[in-house]
Structure 1
């Protein structure tokens, strides 16, 4: 389906939005393949995701995008139309723990997550990951200390721009982004936090959970904001534990939760299934 595309939109809710969008797509020579919508009655905002294919002679995704601008302006929409076949560029930031990085690389090679990994950057040297095959992906060692944090983050931002990355993934990157860098990456930087937020924020959450004697541990993928571990949540999962589990057991069991939660969040973002809704998200499932 080379002529397939994804339309996402959000706007103040009012009557006629769905009718106007679907009528326009029909008249523009498109066939709707998938459609989801959500009306947030608390905020008064409307959200929609539509997958369509340009099927009529002379119709194209570009022409449909151009024509949709007038509708978007009329309804004050935040919107995008993107070709479904487009591979989006992703930059991975990682520290010493590499289980999420290894999982992302596997899912990328197997086609489970469709993307172009434009760069891998770490505050640890390449030798830390010598057991992993980066398959030609550029690797960048960007060491950081308290004294060099601003310079290191400037290098990270320069790499984001140079690589053309549309999404930055903190795959267990154990550095807190500054307010400035977080602001530049708003809505396009995903972090995996190793706890079921909003509980056990900050460092060593599994040890915090063990001290509290919890019976469930979890992981949370969220967008990065200037507020530590407070960004809009995209995906979460949990696993049952018992009083017999040590803090180290929780860390080991948590790795698998982190891998699958982060992978689902990345895939959802790249498939345009996640729409920001203030401090929350709307996630349209398959």
Structure 2
């Protein structure tokens, strides 16, 4: 009986600890140390489930959406996601939207807390992508700006994926499920990646929104397709900071009371004495 009670108590404490850890990782940017305001020449970043006005943005995943308000002309309001990685291959995926006359930008840097310094250049950036007010998508290659006429709508959230190779210093760009560029040479060679930067600047004081992001790396297997918004059992490690996911029994990428209910149900239904989870 004492053994059963001990298991029960350990599971409760583990559940509480993991739940708090997961909660902290989801309430970004205020509480997530990997998401910081590196530059803000516009208004404060807003966090919420939706934004109304000239356009209405609906969140896809997770349950928070960040509005990146515009900075001064020629400058950016910037969010940085910090994660040091030297692994050869990587995939960065973000869900972005923009209003009219708004630059939205995504770049990979070899420095912490980077800042976009102008509309056309980023010091120390490798992959660098810009959604432009003319509804083009631009990207940088060997310090040159290349224009891709994809005409993204300003009323839709788009999934943008960067698959990069740190050895060859090349990357590919995916818009939703379609590959639109690559392999493209880095703007600057990077030996290590220290952060992602997401920013917006304006022509008529509008907004950009960030709805989702993940960053995955590998030293052995390249990423060869578009990223997928994660609602499956495989949760990007960058979300979890290594905490809590072992308790995600229902595999929804959250550790909640539902996982404890599932654990209790599984434990009560154990009928195999040799199963260590039943002991």
Tell me the TM-score range normalised by the shorter chain.
Answer: under 0.3
> Please, what TM-score do these two structures have when normalized by structure 1?
0.27
Q: Which has the higher helix share?
A: 1
Q: Which has the higher strand share?
A: 2
